[in-house]
Structure 1
Amino acid sequence: MRVMIVDDEPLARARLASLLDECEGVELVGSVGDGEAALSTMASAQPDVLILDINMPGMDGKELASRLADRARPQIVFCTAYEAHAVHAFDLGAVDYLLKPVRVERLRDALRRVQQRLDAHPRESVGWLHARVRGEPVRVALDEVICLIAEEKYVVAHRTGDQLLLDESLRQLEETYADQLIRLHRNCLVPVRRLVGLKTMSDGRVLARLAGTDFSPEVSRRNLPTLRKLLRMG
């Protein structure tokens, strides 16, 4: 099970990480201090569960959980010092609710509950794109892609640190991975899980905020309503 800790207190994160070391079958894939940082790293870390504090500066745990509601992954386990939040936590679809200081037995119990829910929703199969490197065919995992951009006769897959030419057209990719890719404009597709927000510039242009990168491609007016609806739905 892939676990990410989201808590603004470094000591709390360190203690949870230590407790997770005592839990079998657990891999800590991230430890961050706020909701924005969690969103920006989830696409690359792909956690199965967030152990999530509620009271944090910026995007707090409740707002982050609302954005992730109804997803099979990541599941949410709230971890806070305040018992009063428990009812609202379960309203947000949390699997469990841990009170600080957390005991390892209670943590293991929460992770068992998470596993039961994950078992009912198997992870989506990884999409593979077909590219060429120095003329030789290679496969590219869709999870690694930041965006796909059509440039003249080619489609370029942008990944962290490199770019690859693809054999398929944008239309073919959009049709094949309709549930995993979303169009920003006529020359650009991005993985749905990469899209974390929008920002409006002073000149009226709207740019997409993508997890795991500072690159912000422009959104066309035609596609803007669809993206806003997707973000509202989480």
Structure 2
Amino acid sequence: MKTLNTLLVDDELSALEGLKLRLDRMDGIHIIDMVTSIDEAIECVKRDVPDLIFLDIQMPGKGGFDLLKQFQPEQHPAIVFVTAFHQYAVRAFEVEAVDYLLKPVRQSRLIEAVERVRARRPDPLYKQQLLTASAALESKDQAGATPSSSYRVEREKLIITDGRNSGQLVPFSEIVWIDAAGDYMCIHTHNETYVMRARLKHLVDTILPPEFVRIHKSTAVNIRYIQHIEALRNSEYRIELTNEKALKVSRTYSAALKTRLFSAQKK
């Protein structure tokens, strides 16, 4: 079994140390360095290109995607992204990352990621795909899309992770409504219900596209699927969705919903 020379890149020293401890339990992994910035990582790869990089995505200054621009196809290492933010999964998939791990990283998922690296590295096409995708992202950045906003620029899919850190990509256009229970959300499409850990306010304010509107402190709907609205007492409303689901609009959110529906109608 070939030893994989491995570079760890994360701005949190504790995260680096934790990852190193887990990797040290595995055979065939040699950690050549641990660095806390992309500039340090660039200097490392200039000296010696590793076989594998565990790379944090969101870092102060230059982000993880900036490191990918340093490599040529014939010497591109395998990339495994490690991050606390699931919304970056879309961009990680765009650059053909071997794997995408959410913090805190489980030992079982780490083993799985390394196995994927070993299975994929002999394929020279991977290096070309990774470089091509990286170049496309660089063009997006030059056009004005920053790494932290690229997920919202795409506005296509919501990443729903499970307990194994795997991800289900659900198109925003298929989500009919969302209801919350504490830190967990139920994401309803016409055919499925998905559960994810998130706050409704964060989803509506920073991730979901504009057609999603809160109608209650624990509920948001896709206004494209509202087919009927009925006035109730105390400035409240009842709405019926295209899947025949009936939901109550609280007084707090009724005015905002009416405004959004009126604006959508004018468009």
TM-score, normalisation: structure 2: 0.43
> Using CA pairs below 8 Å that are at least 6 residues apart, which structure has the higher relative contact order?
1
Larger radius of gyration: 2
TM-score, normalisation: structure 1: 0.49
Q: Which has the higher helix share?
A: 2
